[in-house]
Each structure stands twice: as structure tokens, then as C-alpha cells.
Structure 1
Amino acid sequence: MSPVGRALLLALLCGLLSACAPQRSVRVEPSDRPQPRGTPTGLYEVVRGDTLYGIAFRHGMDYRELASMNGIGPPYTIYPGQRLRLSAGTTAQPTAPARPTREARGVIAPIVAEQPARPASGSTPPPTARPQPPPGAPPSSAPVTGTPAPVTPSVTPSLPAGPPRWQWPAEGQIVSRYLAGDPTRQGVNLAGRGGDPVRAAADGVVVYSGSGLIGYGELIIVKHDETWLSAYGHNRKRLVNEGEAVRGGQQIAELGRTGTSRDMLHFEVRRNGRPVDPLGVLPKR
């Protein structure tokens, strides 16, 4: 057989083998929550359910850095539709009411408040409200004053004294390790079975409990002090709420596979908002 014939026969055989091989599907998760059309690069538009901790965690920032960059002070109230700067060189264009000037003390800082509701037409204003215009007069264009109330503020327990005393959050074997600079490997993955206990790695306060961060599934974030956070992703069920104090070793979730193809815990440790290798702080096994 000529060289050309052999090449054609080899190509045909390769094609047949490829057609018979089992097909694998790969699902690629988007790296971030889709932003409304027209949102400039370097800005993030707040949606209902967001918290300042969650936004900062998603973008690898410290929540205090994000708050300072956008002129947001305690209790760090944010609003749906508000645009936040993610870098110092970006100019934010707020599209929501300014933050409240009256501090609501004793709340867990990063919350999203409802938009202030305008009085219904014809309703009787309270005694301190601005007088209504006479019948037939054009409506006033003066802005509505007042402070919008935050949504269901949670009392913040005091943070533990001293540095975190770390312990393993699950008993499974490590199936993926931290790799500096790789956004897909910012922690460790621990194998397990659905329903296995997920435990707090140290004393702290829950600052996020939800599923709004794409790629993490059902996620819990615990603040241990002003420096350290830990995160627990892909849970089957979350057992703690935002604002709740937890003890190291306390079960906070059930291990699962939300956002992944196998049962496992994704565990991250962050120092001042930046990921660090969890194996550098966890005790040796």
C-alpha cells in the first residue's frame, strides 16, 4: 500500500475509534455573577441578596478595603442597583440612594437594604412631613428625605479573643490542593459522602450563608477576627445563619455537591481578604 493510502486508512481508523469512545461533558461555571448590561468594567452593581462580605470575597478583597473605596461606613448598608468600585482607578456612578447617615449599631455590617418606598398618592403625611402642595399645583421636585431602614439586621456577637485555633473542617482526604495565582484552586477540596458533617475550623461569627456566589454552591463564610476568614463551599445543607456565633468543631453544614460533580468540601482560608494555603494554618494530620 502506498504511503498516501496508509495515511488515509489511519485517519479513518482514528475517526471510528473516536466515534465509539464514551463522550464526556464538561460544564464551565461562569467566573462571576452576570452584571446588568451597560455596567462599566471595574464596577459591580449590587443585586438583592448581596452583602459587602460576599462581594469582597468574590473579588478577592478585604471588606474594609471595598467599603473605604466606596465611602461606605458602618453599618455598611448597600442597596440593589448601587454600583461599587472594585479598584481605586474606577469612578463609581451610584444609581441608588445614598447610604444612611444614622448608624444602626449592633448589626452585622454587610447587608442589603430595601429601596425606600414613596408614600401612596393622596395619603396623609405624618406631622413632621413637608406640607402638600395645593390642589392643581405641579408636584414638587424636591427629593424625599428620610433614612431607609436596613433589612432584618442581625446582632453581631463579639469576635473571639486571640488568634484562631485552627482545626480540620472535615475528615476526608485531600483531592485538590491550593495553588497560588490559580483562581480555580484558592483552597483545598476534601472528599466525603453526602451528609457528612462540615465543622467550623475555629471560633467565629458567620458573615455569609447563602448560594449567591457562583462556583461555590451553598456557601458559608466565618469571620474569626479582623484578619482571618474561612469559607466552606458545595454544602448539601447549611445549618447556621448570618450573625450566628460558632465554636471551633461545631457542625455548621452537611457536606454535598452543590456546584460540583462529586461530594466534597471546598475549604478556603483568607487573610485580609486574600487567599492563603489552608495547609499552612491547619494542624498536621
Structure 2
Amino acid sequence: MTTNAPGAASPAVLRYTAFSADPAGGNPAGIVLDAAGLDDAAMLGIAAEVGYSESAFLTPAPDSASASASASASGQAGRAYDVRYFSPQAEVPFCGHATVAAAVALAEHGAGAGDFVFSTRAGTVPVTVTDADGAPRATLTSVEPHVDEVTAADLTEALASLDWPADDLDPALPPRIAYAGARHLILAAATRERLADLSYDFERLAALMRRLDLTTVQLVWREKDLTFHVRDPFPVGGVVEDPATGAAAAAFGAYARELGLVPAESELTLHQGADMGRPGVLTVNLRDGDAKVRVSGAAVRIEG
């Protein structure tokens, strides 16, 4: 691990898991609370060394004017940080689980619970940390989301990469590309068994995702009206599967609302990671009249 300054000390890297109160569950993230002096190569090197699907690198906003501008733009006051996210192979514009983990890490390392404003490559993301009965929980508010069609040819290629017959899709949840800070292709399985059986062509799917500028493919199965099980292949990040994906959860919330699959005012529960042995729970809140999506979850430090 290196910094821009020769001979500078290596930065402290914290390890937290998000969307679980159990260190063995959820999605782990590396967290650097003060990344000042790190260049792109250094951040990528740290992310690769840590080896998690994402690591977050925070730098306090340079001045109070910047903090005020960020808070004003988001409609929520809070302590301001510039944040960048790296997988072991590349930078991504936004990562939900690393945002939740980073906010809880800030709260536990001197900042305390309350409001933060993260300035990301995708836009301004307000985050609130609460402490209920000693269990910290963070809620992020997405950037403005949108949902796009997926072409028949791209859908065919995605299904071929996954080795999914078209008949295994749930016709009630049509394929779309959804964005709430990063782009995700949403495909709905007709059965839980289809979702559980994940074995795909890593390079083929990665090539399609690069062409479509996708961060993950979100595979979904609807258990009941507001409860879903999800999995997220992440080959473009050098990871077969992401255990709990906050950015995809936000995108999915926008998708479900736009297609009228859930009421405009809803709380969705997404279960992810069970098939990997790292169960986690993501809560997605939709507010009528507010296009932005809120994603909440617990986070806890991984010792060692």
C-alpha cells in the first residue's frame, strides 16, 4: 500500500460488513477514513490487497463552503466527505454497501451518530446513522434514479451468459436496466430454485456488462408482495458475486415503483447473501412524491 508521498505511512484500513449485525454475514468493505494523499493507483492497490468487492476512500470536504454546498444540494445538513469506491479491478461511481459501512465506521471512530453528506462520482448522497439499542444502522438516500429498456439482443446475450432459459424468467417482473448511482440489469427468476442455481460464464457476462456500463446484474425472486430475494453477479469488479448490494437495492426500488410492482409508498425487504453463506437484509424505502430511494441496513466491524 502506497501513498503519493514517498515514505509516507500506509493508511489505516478498517474492515466492516454492511447489511448485517453479524461479522460473518452481509457484504464486507474496506474503509479508509482519511484518504488524503492517496492517488488512484494507491487506492486501487489497497482495494486489491483488501480483496473485498468494494473499498471506500473518504476525505473530509476541503472547506466549510464545500460542506455547505453539498448539504444544500442534498436538502440535508451533515458533515461532508468526498468518497471514492474501488473494486479490486476498477473504480465504480457509487457503492451502497461501502457507503453504509463507511458511515457506521465514521460514527464509531469519533464522528458519532447523525447526518453525513457523501460527495461521490455519481452525485451527492446523504447518509444518516442512528444508534438503536447499541446497534448502529445507516440509511443512504440515492441520487435521482431512472429506469431504461433493455434490447432483445442484450437480454438474449445476458441469458446465454447466465445459462438461463428465457422460460425461467418471471413475466410479472420484466427485464430493465435501472440506475440509482450505478447501472444494474434486473432479471427476475420465476422460482427460488432458479435463483439458487447460479453458474455463469464469467468472461462472457463481464464483456456484456462493460459494453452496457453495468455494475452488477441483479437477479431477483419475489417471495411475496414486498419481500424479495436477490443475487448480484459482479464479474466487472473481479468478483463472482456480491453478497449484499446497496446500489442495486436502490436501483431495484426505483424499478419496482416505476413499473407499478409495489405501492408508491412502500418498504421493501431484500434478502441477499444466503446462497453464499453470508446472509444480509437490505431495507428499501419508497416515498410517494419523492423519486429518490432510501436504503437502510446494519453494519458491524470485522475484527482482525
TM-score by length of 2: 0.23
More helix by share: 2
Greater share of strand residues, 1 or 2? 2
Larger radius of gyration: 1
Greater length-normalized contact order (CA 8 Å, ≥ 6 residues apart): 2
Taking structure 1 as the reference length, what is the TM-score of the superposition?
0.24
